[in-house]
Structure 1
Amino acid sequence: MDLIDTHQHLILRDRIGYAWTQDLPALATGDFTRADYAGLTAGKGVIGTVFMETGVDDADYQAEARMVAGMVGTDGMLGQIASIRPEWDDGFDGWLEEAAGLNTVGFRRILHVVPDDVSQSETFRRNLRKIGMAGFSFDLNFLARQLIPIGAALVRACPDQSYILDHCGVPDVAAGAFDEWARGIDVMAAFPNIVVKFSGITTYCAPGTASVALLQPYVDHLLRAFGPDRMLWGGDWPVVNLGAGLPGWIDMTRALLAGLSADEQFAIGQGTARRVYRLG
């Protein structure tokens, strides 16, 4: 099963600020570069990547996208998902227009690290609709507890938009909170314009516990709710270092999906990504 990694981060501290990493020892120092990524994925069947904005400091999110634009088309990078701030009217239209010319295939605003009401404002929703009208997808980051009251409400308010629900909907695997997460997944999967990103889940396990046996029930539920044609794969490196690590996650992915047909594995590995992010 060849893979397009739809969630490749980079950390380049000499150019961009990453304050969120300060409290995470595994990520707090040093750079995480394309050369590092290439070493970790060599021989692992990763045939292309899509850069995912790295949650950089507010002052740097546009600089990050401009920097990455020059990397797209080299070393297998197929496009980028750029950061955007729909809650801000000031400069929004100008950034949407500029970013559209930066090899951008979609946009993201991380919503589980801001107050719950950010995505509930009319400003946010009006600007999100503009992203859809411009023909771009929007990656959603919500905690499991936010899926029904906040995530579903946003999708209902902005229905003419293609969405990707990142990191399997962020189940609290460590706490064993399967039922709340599963209810939220079922509600989100009922919207035909949402696909789910098969990524990040090992990070939500208790340290050292991520395993195929532990995660298989979560994966099986995603497959029942969304189906392979509405799932796409992401590595989430280097954040995945907090879980199984990238090589371990790739191996675990193949084990978790081993019972699927070749066509179903193709859909999750690259087919859905090509369709949703318009990768050709």
Structure 2
Amino acid sequence: LGGTGLTFDLVVLPHQIPRAIALADLAPDVQFVLDHCGVPDIKGNAEHPWREHMSEIARRPNVMAKVSGVVAYADPGSWTVETLRPYVEHTIGAFGWDRVVWGSDWPVCTLGGGLSTWVAATHALLSGCGISERDGLLSGNARRLWRLK
């Protein structure tokens, strides 16, 4: 993919993030997008080693993160915004507001309640952030990453 201007989405489980790191290191001229906040085990309340792996992959300037569909990894009958918050906030904190994009992950997000539920949860998660941060996550960063008008 080097030199094509195309991006490569990384859809990996937490224990596979070290392999994604190795790939990003081998191809520094390729822009990678780590999907679904690195697929954390939210239902199992497992932040480790996911948390450490996310911090490490975020050190690669050629990797961005997609905040997408994490409701599919939570308990569909009991998750709340606060259940998702540590995972989304760690992802944004590790990558920074300028290296995260939002995604619906539709139709997979229906496993956790549906698209409108995920959109509402996203807005609740972003309620305390600034307008430029929110706009970057929801559209500006994607426009820049994929050179959209």
1:201 is matched with 70
Could you tell me how far apart the structure 2 residues matched to 1:268 and 1:248 are?
18
The answer to whether structure 1 residue 141 and structure 2 residue 8 are counterparts is no
Q: How does 1:5-44 map to 2 (within 5 A)?
A: none
Residue 154 of structure 1 and its aligned partner are, at CA, apart by 0.8
Deviation string, structure 1 residues 130-175 (Cα, Å, up to 9, x no partner): x221111111111011102x11111111111011100110001111
TM-score by length of 2: 0.96
Report the Cα offset of residue 220 of structure 1.
Answer: 1.5
Secondary structure of 1:171's counterpart equals coil
Q: Deviations over 1:15-48 (max 9, x none)?
A: xxxxxxxxxxxxxxxxxxxxxxxxxxxxxxxxxx
Query: In the alignment, residue 49 of structure 2 is paired with which amino acid?
Result: E
Q: Is the 8 A contact 1:145 1:181 kept in 2?
A: yes
Match of 1:272, as an amino acid?
N
Q: For the residues of structure 2 that align with 1:249 and 1:241, how far apart are their CA atoms?
A: 9
Q: TM-score, normalised by structure 1?
A: 0.52
Q: Residue 132 in 1 paired to residue 14 in 2?
A: no
Tell me which residue corresponds to 1:249: 118
**Contact residue 198 and residue 232 of structure 1 kept, 8 A:** yes
Question: Does the aligned pair in 2 maintain the 1:171–1:204 contact within 8 Å?
Answer: yes
Say if 2:52 is the partner of 1:183: yes
Asked if 2 retains the 8 angstrom alpha-carbon contact of 1:202 and 1:244, the reply is: yes
CA drift of 1:228 comes to 1.3
CA contact (8 A) 1:210 1:244 kept: no
Query: Does 2:123 correspond to 1:263?
Result: no
How far residue 232 of structure 1 moved from its aligned partner, in angstroms, is: 0.6
Could you say which residue in structure 2 is the equivalent of 1:78?
Answer: none
Percent identical pairs in the alignment equals 43
Contact 1:140-1:166 within 8 A present in 2 as well: yes
CA contact (8 A) 2:68 2:102 kept: yes
Question: After the TM superposition, which parts of structure 1 deviate over 3 Å for at least 4 consecutive aligned residues?
Answer: none
1:25 counterpart residue number: none
Whole-Å Cα distance in 1 between the matches of residues 76 and 135 of structure 2?
30
How many residues align? The count is: 149
What is the aligned-residue RMSD (CA, Å)? Answer: 0.9
User: 2:6–2:31: 8 Å Cα contact kept in structure 1?
Assistant: yes
- Classify the secondary structure of the residue corresponding to 2:123: helix
Once residues 209 and 229 of structure 1 are traced to their aligned partners in structure 2, the CA distance between those partners, rounded to angstroms, is 31
As a proportion of its length, which structure holds more helix?
2
Q: For residues 250-277 of structure 1, what are the alpha-carbon distances to aligned partners after superposition, in whole Å with 9 as ceiling and x for unaligned?
A: 0000000111100000000101100111
1:273 paired with 2:147, answer no
Structure with the greater alpha carbon radius of gyration: 1
1:265 partner SS? helix
Could you say which residue in structure 2 is the equivalent of 1:151? 20
